Chain A
Amino acid sequence: MKRVAWIAVALLAMGAVALAANPVKITFWTHEDPNRTPLEEEYIRRFEALYPQVKIERVTYPSAKIAEVLLTAFAAGQGPDMFNLEINDAYPYLVMGRVAPLRPEWVGYPNVDTILGAYLEGTLDPVYRDGQLYGLPLELTIWSVFVNKKYFREVGLDPDTDYPRTWEQMMEVSEKLVIREGEIIKRRGFDFRYPYYLEELLPMVEQLGGAFLSEDGQTAIINDEAWLQVLRYLQQWGPLGKNLGSPTYKAARSLFNFDRNEVTMCSSGFYQIARIRNDNPAFYESGEWMVIPYPVFENAVRDMAAHYYGHYYMVNAQSSRETQEWTWRFIAYMLSNPEEYLTKAGLIQPRKDLLASDVYAAQPFGDVFAADMARSSMVQLHVANPEFKQLLDDAVKAVMLQGVTPEDALATLRRRANEVLAEYK
């Protein structure tokens, strides 16, 4: 925490020198997060009070919309000065040279290595390129499994001992927990987060020794047997199989908090805890929920949890140099409050000092997330990730909803993924 205080003081000193500078307007686009908004609006107010020549306009967009709004803005040369996106969507901006590097001296660090050293190893890799940093993490997210203990007991299971450790057990337990009226599911045991295949589906394939890309990145879809096992599993999961869940039902994560007998388990990140507290304080206080590790297949060859991903604040390379500098200073100012982000918004900045702090240690189930992170890795990054995600979505829905065989779905996925790869060679 000493370093955080030192950075804040350095920022103040640097700002005082710049008081006579020209007015700077910073446009800041971010996704909607009701827990983060009041926090960042307060940081803006304080920063503007410290540096009256700086005006910051914070604009929020729904999570599902911000990627395309930002893309069209950048394509038209009208992007905001700063933004954050899930790294899968942000990575093409970095590769295409649309974001500006951070100069360590702007944010009170002597060099890039010192910044890298302040964060957990590997967590800045996605934004580190040619010796420069192009982003600072707002949050790093790994998904574990949230469980409603009440429904376990309702079907005669002990949540503390009978929780699923393998995907096979997950299916078995979900069959006991599901409530249907004919074919229509009233309560799901567990359900996947369908659009997030790189984070949740790919680790399942990797547990079995498969991969999306070869090590040299030249070939897509490695180890057919691993892929087929996962696609068959999902086919069994869907309405054409055991009918335990489907992409067309409302996202399990958004129903979990309300404890309305609609869903028993869902995948989510640490931020879900703050959302349970906000959405349903009685359920939050009840002690009727818990977090368990991400399961593995019984025949897994690797112990792999869900891939973690990050949201990084980035700065538009088309903004003026002065605006870039002030924007980085503002980002560093906001991020110098990691404990507040953790306790008020449920967001984990992967800083070593935060993760070693008592504040983090006191967070419920922080140990489960930390253990899952230890047996995981950052989500695979490629400039074509948005397209790969779409291809995975097509394959999963083909087997779950359209009656396509896993073999045919895999053949289509392989052909299309390799076509995309060929275009980027």
Chain B
Amino acid sequence: MLSCEGDELRKNAHTRGICERRGRWGWAFVLPSLVFFGLFSIYPVLNALYLSFFQKHLLSTAPPKFIGLGNYVYLFHSPAFWNSLRATAIFTGGAFSLLVGLSLILAVFITSRRKFQRFLQLAFFSPAVVSTVVAAAIWLLIFDPRGIANQLVNTIAGTPGVDHNWLAAPAMLQLSTILVYVWKYVGYFTIIFITGIGSIPRSLFEAARVDGASVWQTFWKITFPLLKPTTLLVSVMAMIQCLRTFSTQYFFSQAGSPRAPIDVITLNVYYTAIRNFQIGRASALSLILFAIMLLLSWLQFRLARSEEVSYL
């Protein structure tokens, strides 16, 4: 087979020609997605970066006023910004750990079933395809003071008539948003883990069984270490997903909940741009969120690289 790498390429002009032609076709195939990515991902980031150095009223037709790092300085001195960081950290910490942990447990549970595997996958995945508006509407009904959440908890705890303030008390409100998010996305990450488990060679499990390994040992010595690339993928995706959370907090705040406990950075971006018309400041805020995402993703990759495992 023709190799387009290393010595052969350097020695053989004919091979180099073929490789260059292949490379051109490669670019041709990749170009549409590069253009798409550039237009809808890179350009908005660059545009936001540019806008973050200006003061601009969203409705004004006047040219934006250059203020350098003024928006960033304002944000770092703003209590609302630090509250948003705190709200984002609480939400991400809670939702991320539950999402990764629960989806792994569910994946192992589903793959260990002999029957109903497909049904269980479908059942857990289905909330991911429900629109966010519908999901929020359903959960607002559940968390309503007269809704199922209070009834269920009061029946279990034997505390009739207690209002647990799911949408009102700060801690409960944070818990409510985490619950909604985990409910919506746990099935999605479960499917990714199931795919990861499916790619581990069966022979390793069979060998472990022959050697008398318990289920617990099989999980910790085979499944979990070999799932590391999948776990990394899930944790990076879940982390980014959690940091980008918006809809649940938005709908809850629209439904009467206090904003401060759930004022995650994205919600703050929305209010700064759409309610307060400060598009430059909102851009600075979104750039800070982008930097946080980059940093956390890089950290995860660094940590994962130091513990690579292979039994093959």
Q: Are the CB atoms of A248 and B255 closer together than 8 Å?
A: yes
Task: Give the shortest distance, in Å, between B79 (CB) and chain A (any CB).
Answer: 8
Q: Are B274 and A72 in contact (CB under 8 A)?
A: yes
Question: In the complex, A415 Cα to B256 Cα: how many Å?
Answer: 23
Contacts of A394 in B (CB 8 A): 258-260
Q: A74-B59, A183-B161, A183-B163 are in contact. Are A398 and B260 (CB under 8 A)?
A: yes
Contact of A401 among B61, B258, B274 (CB under 8 A): B258
Chain A CB within 8 A of B106 CB: no
* Smallest CB gap from B257: residue in A: A248
- The one of A64, A96, A246 that contacts B168, using a Cβ cutoff of 8 Å: A246
Q: A184-B146, A246-B256 are in contact. Are A71 and B274 (CB under 8 A)?
A: yes
Interface 0/1 of B272-312, CB less than 8 Å to A: 00111101000000000000000000000000000000000
Chain B residues near A420: list those with CB within 8 A: 276
| Interface pick from A10-18, A290-298, A385-393 | A385-393
Contact for B163 among A71, A184, A194, A393, CB less than 8 A: A184
Contact flag A92-B144 (CB < 8 Å), given A184-B150, A239-B165, A390-B275: no
A181 at the interface (CB under 8 A from B): yes
B161:A68 contact, CB within 8 angstroms? no
A402 at the interface (CB under 8 A from B): yes
Name the residue on A nearest B147 (C-beta).
A184
Contact indicator B261/A402 (Cβ below 8 Å): yes
Q: Across the interface, do B258 and A92 meet the contact criterion of CB distance under 8 Å?
A: no
- Tell me which residues across on chain B come within 8 A of A96, comparing CB atoms: 57, 59-61
Q: Kindly state whether residue A344 has any CB partner on chain B within 8 Å.
A: no
- Which residues of chain B from 137 to 168 have any CB-CB distance to chain A below 8 Å in the complex? 144-146, 150, 160-163, 165, 167-168
Count the A residues whose beta carbon is within 8 Å of the partner chain — how many?
A: 37
Using Cβ atoms and an 8 Å threshold, which residues of chain A touch B163? 182-184, 239
CB neighbours (8 Å) of B257 from chain A are 247-248, 397, 401
Residue B196 at the chain A interface, CB threshold 8 Å = no
Instruction: Evaluate contact between A181 and B161: CB separation under 8 angstroms.
Output: yes
| Bound-complex Cα distance A416 to B81 (A) | 13
- The residue that A250 contacts in the complex, of B144, B260, B271, with Cβ under 8 A, is B144
Name the contact of B276 in the complex, choosing from A182, A194, A387, A397 (C-beta under 8 A).
A387
User: Per-position contact with A for B114-129: 1 when CB-CB < 8 Å, else 0?
Assistant: 0000000000000000
Interface residue ranges of A117-142 to B (CB < 8 Å): none
Q: For residue B271, which residues in chain A have a CB less than 8 angstroms away from its CB?
A: 390
Could you tell me if A386 and B276 are in contact, using CB atoms closer than 8 angstroms?
A: yes
Which residue of B has the minimal Cβ distance to A77? B61
A231-260 with Cβ < 8 A to chain B: 239, 246-250
Complex CA distance for A202 and B276, rounded to whole angstroms: 20
Contact present for B259 and A68 (CB under 8 Å): no
B161–A184 CB distance below 8 A: yes
A93 to B258, CA, bound (A): 28
Q: Check if B58 sits within 8 Å of A182, measured CB to CB.
A: no
Closest to A94 in B: B59
- The answer to whether A182 touches B160, judged by C-beta atoms less than 8 angstroms apart, is yes
Count of A-B residue pairs with CB < 8 Å = 93
Question: Which residues of chain A come closer than 8 Å to B261, judged between CB atoms?
Answer: 402
Contact call B165/A75, Cβ cutoff below 8 A: no
Task: Please tell me if the beta carbons of B145 and A248 are within 8 angstroms of each other in the complex.
Answer: yes
Does A58 have its Cβ within 8 Å of any Cβ on chain B? no
Contacts of A181 in B (CB 8 A): 160-161
In whole Å, how far is A415's beta carbon from the nearest beta carbon of chain B? 9
Q: Are A248 and B58 in contact (CB under 8 A)?
A: no
| Interface check A366, CB cutoff 8 A | no
Task: Give chain A nearest CB distance to B165 CB in angstroms.
Answer: 7
Residue B254 is within 8 A (CB to CB) of chain A in the complex? yes
- What is the minimal beta-carbon distance from A211 to any residue of chain B, in angstroms? 22
Please tell me if the beta carbons of B258 and A397 are within 8 angstroms of each other in the complex.
yes
What residue of chain B has the Cβ atom nearest to residue A249's Cβ? B145
Task: Tell whether, in the assembled complex, residue A387 and residue B256 are in contact, meaning their CB atoms are under 8 Å apart.
Answer: no
Interchain nearest-CB distance for A182 vs B (Å): 1
Task: Indicate whether B170 reaches chain A with its CB closer than 8 angstroms.
Answer: yes
A93 and B167 contacting across the interface, CB-CB below 8 Å: no
Q: Which residues of chain B have C-beta atoms less than 8 A from A194's C-beta? A: 256
Q: Mark B246-273, 1 if CB is under 8 A from A, else 0.
A: 0000000011111111000000000100
Question: What's the Cα separation between A71 and B275 when bound, in Å?
Answer: 9
CB neighbours (8 Å) of B60 from chain A are 96
Q: How far is the CA of A75 from the CA of B59 in the complex (A)?
A: 6
Bound Cα distance A74, B291 (Å): 29
The 0/1 profile, CB within 8 Å of B marked 1, for residues 148-184 of chain A is 0000000000000000000000000000000011111
A112 contact set on B, CB distance < 8 A: none
Choose from A72, A247, A402 the contact partner of B170 (Cβ within 8 Å).
Answer: A402
Is B42 in the interface zone, CB < 8 Å from A? no
| Distance between Cα atoms of A381 and B109 in the complex (Å) | 60
Q: In this complex, what residue of B is CB-closest to A317?
A: B61
Provide the B50-62 mask, 1 if CB < 8 A to any CB of A, else 0: 0000000111110
Using CB atoms, name the residue of chain B closest to A387: B276
Within 8 A of B (CB), among A172-202: 180-186, 194
**CB-CB < 8 A to A239: which residues of B?**
163, 165, 168
Query: B60, B146, B168, B169: which has the most chain A beta carbons within 10 Å?
Result: B168
Please pick, from A71, A182, A390, A397, the residue contacting B59 in the complex, using a CB distance under 8 A. Answer: A71
Query: Are A71 and B58 also in contact (CB < 8 A) when A64-B254, A184-B146, A386-B275 are?
Result: yes
Q: Considering the chains assembled together, what is the distance between the CA atoms of A416 and B167 in angstroms?
A: 25
Q: How far is the CB of B55 from chain A (nearest CB, A)?
A: 9
Asked if A97 lies at the interface with its beta carbon under 8 angstroms from chain B, I say yes
A-B CB contact pairs (8 Å), 8 listed:
A71-B58, A249-B256, A387-B275, A390-B259, A390-B271, A394-B260, A398-B260, A402-B260
Give 3 nearest A-B pairs by CB, closest first: A182-B161, A247-B256, A397-B258
Given A96-B60, A246-B145; 12 other pairs, CB 8 A cutoff: A72-B274, A97-B61, A181-B161, A182-B162, A183-B162, A248-B144, A249-B256, A386-B276, A394-B259, A401-B165, A402-B258, A402-B260
Give me the interface of A with B, judged by CB distance under 8 Å.
64, 68, 71-72, 74-75, 92-93, 96-98, 180-186, 194, 239, 246-250, 384, 386-387, 390, 393-394, 397-398, 401-402, 416, 420
